[in-house]
A and B are shown apart, each in its own frame.
Chain A
């Protein structure tokens, strides 16, 4: 029987919250760094999901997002390549609706049930932009989640899915614009959100006879905590069964939000539990899942999962920093020079293995590992006898570093690092998601897929180094104590 076989998640390190000067919200929310977007977060969630597992047998990738960089050009191919999946797989984007996450999961589960997909990935990732200072900005969050679907070793199976459509301009983003728009508040809540949820619950009852009292856990999408509370009350959802929506520390992560809550539910669930997922966006989905016995004895893969990522956080010091990250506020009023030209599409395509997959090579003759790929071995001078080797996930340490205070205006200081992998390779990379006071020679570092210099209409990506997330777990405690 087809179902969810595993999952992973990603939450950006940074938070807007009480520790952020100039932030007017009461809650805390996750926020993508200046070099993160839906693509990079999707890559991180896939990496978290596949950590410790083979990726050779992944045969499909469904990418759900409302905030992808291209109007024409698939994003799933980019995520599949950056996560080193096979080229010979089914890839698709599922976009344009806040329900894209559950829709993509439903499509993948259907394909798995039909036997067309054996090991598919469903990744939902969103980073939506609200006007500066708006309630949207306060309520949204950035994050991603990834589910693996297939048959044979599922930890949860799909029992029912019912959907209701609702043609409405309640919350939308026109093509070519970057900000979410919205109609008047009462209309949005009544005619959109509550109406659709009520209808989908009626459909569920008609189809299965079940009501909100019949589930062990209920995941409820809501735009913000006020509406979450209102819907809980109106729909009669028992509080004890309600999944914590994390709106006080994560925020509404768009089309990834319901599925991130599902991931949190699965992280806590035991065998034989029934989980109802209520999602909203141009209508509503009600998805009923049941956990299997396998959920209790999933092998530990060393991934961080949702809770692991959520525990690590670093407050953004000042609200104006965030505005700079999103290009909403620029200190550099006078452009010093014309913008740099974009990268060559031909070169990017040719160098995909080293740029997107971050593959180096290992010499067949002497086993030396080197990055970027070489045709002549740096250790034994052997020619052309090289086997590709991916360096993402390989343990590495910081060899030396510098901090550039004049290079740019968004990420000061720019940290340049030389990192040495335990397998013998070395690479020179920028460092992201760091605390400049905590950088130390010999500290463990990981690789993270990030936005790089873009131009010419090409959104460009490359890998950066970053400290292990665990370094930042105490940050939150310190903030709470302070």
Chain B
């Protein structure tokens, strides 16, 4: 990259069934918090990137809600990783030199539809026919378990043992969410409650699956030079890797369903840029995109935080517990914050930002120097994966 990029301010709205707030209210909550955090005003922002999958939430929504005047605004779309892609748009633009201070923001207001379950990957618009239209009918947990079944068979790990690992992840995230004032779910659950809950897509129970909930996130992305001169706390981007699929998993027999090739490739690209050789040793904290705990389990291997076939073992060894070697989803993950296609990618980074700047309150971990954030969007056999590595100022 031609310039180093920093994040100098962030803000998120509370997540949940926010019947009190529309898209605009959520944007104002998150956007104003981010600007206040960065110590800037709307006039300081040169351009913005906006993530939202609602078709009628057009370019004007962000500028309108936050009164950003006539600044440049781009809406991005990348399925479930839309929020992450908004952040990438801002990062790329700052790196290009065109802009010094940018805003990445995302919002979703899914509960106005009357549903909190979600499907993903169903193409928007009238042209979806055949297989694409059929897949749009399925719920995301059903996609996740396609991978889980294959994983269990190939690595010869009994379903019971996998179930125990999933329970460990779910109870951990709920414990973390209980300490996060912005989370939608702020109560712990017991192992029995998780395993005794209604089955969503076997072996996942409804407590292993996140819900589609309202929420917004915002980040002020700037050049490191600007961040440094401001004298405020900030984090720097050390690496970013992105990879998008082309429906390989639906067409090609060599697609293994043991993980996401996109995630593996994105991680390699990000680690190369950040100079990371042994991610499992060089990373202190992780934010993993957990639409379901099955997706989280598999992602540990894709991101190199567990060797192939060992994720269950590492989880059960406590590596990713809140007190573990690489504490993961310390904000409660999507499981507690809900899924917002346009905002989740930003809300995930928020936790890394708080941990790295030492402001995570009762969730604060000791000695976080490097945090990895993984977001993904897509459906069966084709995803866009985003891996970002953040660190402290140089």
Contact = CB atoms under 8 A, between A and B. Distances in A.
Interface of A: 337, 344-347, 349-351, 374-378, 381, 383
A381 B19 contact: no
B114 A350 contact: no
Given A376-B66, A376-B67, 18 more contacts: A337-B126, A344-B112, A344-B113, A344-B114, A345-B114, A346-B112, A346-B114, A347-B22, A347-B112, A350-B19, A350-B22, A351-B22, A374-B67, A375-B24, A375-B65, A381-B41, A381-B67, A383-B32
Interface string B24-66: 1100100010000000011000000000000000000000011
Nearest to B214: A346
A350 B111 CA distance: 12
A346 B66 contact: no
Interface string B107-137: 0000111100000000000100000000000
B20 interface: yes
A319 to B, nearest CB: 37
A378 B63 CA distance: 11
Contacts of B112: 344, 346-347
B79 to A, nearest CB: 22
A350 B20 contact: yes
A345 B41 CA distance: 35
A314 B143 CA distance: 60
Nearest to A343: B112
B21 interface: yes
Contacts of B22: 347, 350-351
Nearest to A374: B67
Nearest to B20: A350
Contacts of B114: 344-346
Contacts of A375: 24-25, 28, 65
B146 to A, nearest CB: 30
Contact of B42 (A337, A349, A374, A381): A381
A420 to B, nearest CB: 19
B129 to A, nearest CB: 15
Interface in B63-92: 65-67
Contacts of B32: 383
Contacts of A381: 41-42, 67
A152 B386 CA distance: 73
Nearest to A378: B67
Contacts of B67: 374, 376-378, 381
28 contacts: A337-B126, A344-B112, A344-B113, A344-B114, A345-B114, A346-B19, A346-B112, A346-B114, A347-B112, A349-B19, A350-B19, A350-B20, A350-B21, A350-B22, A351-B22, A374-B67, A375-B24, A375-B25, A375-B28, A375-B65, A376-B28, A376-B65, A376-B66, A376-B67, A378-B67, A381-B41, A381-B67, A383-B32
Contacts of B21: 350
A346 B24 CA distance: 15
Contacts of B20: 350
A377 B64 CA distance: 11
A349 B112 CA distance: 10
Contacts of A377: 67
A313 B242 CA distance: 65
Which of B21, B41, B114 has the most C-beta atoms of chain A within 10 angstroms of its own C-beta?
B114
Nearest to B22: A350
A361 to B, nearest CB: 13
B347 to A, nearest CB: 21
A347 B20 CA distance: 9
Given A351-B22, A376-B66, A381-B42, A346 B111 contact: yes
A376 B24 CA distance: 11
Contacts of A349: 19
B235 to A, nearest CB: 27
A377 B66 CA distance: 10
Nearest to A381: B67
B346 to A, nearest CB: 20
A51 B3 CA distance: 64
Nearest to B36: A383
A349 B20 CA distance: 9
Contacts of B111: 346
A374 B28 CA distance: 10
B211 to A, nearest CB: 15
Which 6 interchain pairs have the tightest Cβ spacing? A344-B112, A376-B67, A347-B112, A375-B28, A346-B112, A346-B19
Contacts of B24: 375
A374 B24 CA distance: 9
Interface string B347-367: 000000000000000000000
A383 B25 CA distance: 12
A446 B70 CA distance: 31
A345 B19 CA distance: 10
A423 B65 CA distance: 22
A378 B126 CA distance: 37
Contacts of B126: 337
A396 B112 CA distance: 33
Nearest to B31: A376
Interface string B248-291: 00000000000000000000000000000000000000000000
A362 B216 CA distance: 26
Contacts of B65: 375-376
A458 to B, nearest CB: 11
A288 B341 CA distance: 66
A345 B111 CA distance: 10
A346 B114 CA distance: 8
A375 B22 CA distance: 12
